[in-house]
Amino acid sequence: MKTAIVYYSKHHGNTKKLVDAIAAAHEVTVFNCMEEEPDLSGFDRIGFASGIYAEHPARKLRRYAAEHLPEHKEVFLIITAGMPNDRYFADLTKTAEEKHCKVIGTYRCEGFNTFGPFLLVGGTSKGHPTQEEQDAAVRFYEGL
């Protein structure tokens, strides 16, 4: 099954660590949506991965998914956030449903966060994602 992961990882590289762990263990094509907007039509399975910015996945990734996700694909979602909350998947899940895609799995873990006022206290979730969380992301991918 031909798989692509499109990710956005800006501040501390939290999300990129998870994507890199998956790519090191499995044959997937990885795209950084801050640098490119690939054609995903040739892929069977598409992952979207992002940190959380103001309670949502990155705007650029959300916009890319809305404009470029082909219909009827299998989709999986990966989120890193300073504070855990499953509602962070809602935007991308809605986009997938609008494109008649099936969300086949979601993975969320903590990510080091120094956004806004959290910088004043040294950030939240320091040290995340851990190696264990990166390994869990690989296991998540293997279970799809």
Domains in the chain (CATH in brackets) are 3-142 (3.40.50.360)
Structure tokens at 11: 């501040």
The answer to whether residue 73 scores a pLDDT higher than 80 is yes
Longest dimension (CA), the chain: 45
CA atoms lying within 13 Å on the CB side of residue 47: 34
Q: How confident is the model at residue 113 (pLDDT cuts 50, 70, 90)?
A: low
The span from the CA of 89 to the CA of 112, in Å, is 18
d(CA 28, CA 57): 21
Per-residue pLDDT at 117 exceeds 60: no
Query: Is there a contact between 36 and 5 (Cβ–Cβ < 8 Å)?
Result: no
Q: What tokens appear for 46 in the block?
A: 């598409």
Determine the pLDDT at residue 118.
46
Q: Is the predicted pLDDT of residue 120 greater than 80, yes or no? A: no
In percent, how much of the chain has pLDDT > 90?
Answer: 70
What is the model's pLDDT at position 123?
47
Residue 55's pLDDT band (cuts 50, 70, 90): confident
- Provide the 10 A C-beta neighbour count for residue 55: 12
How much is the pTM? 0.90
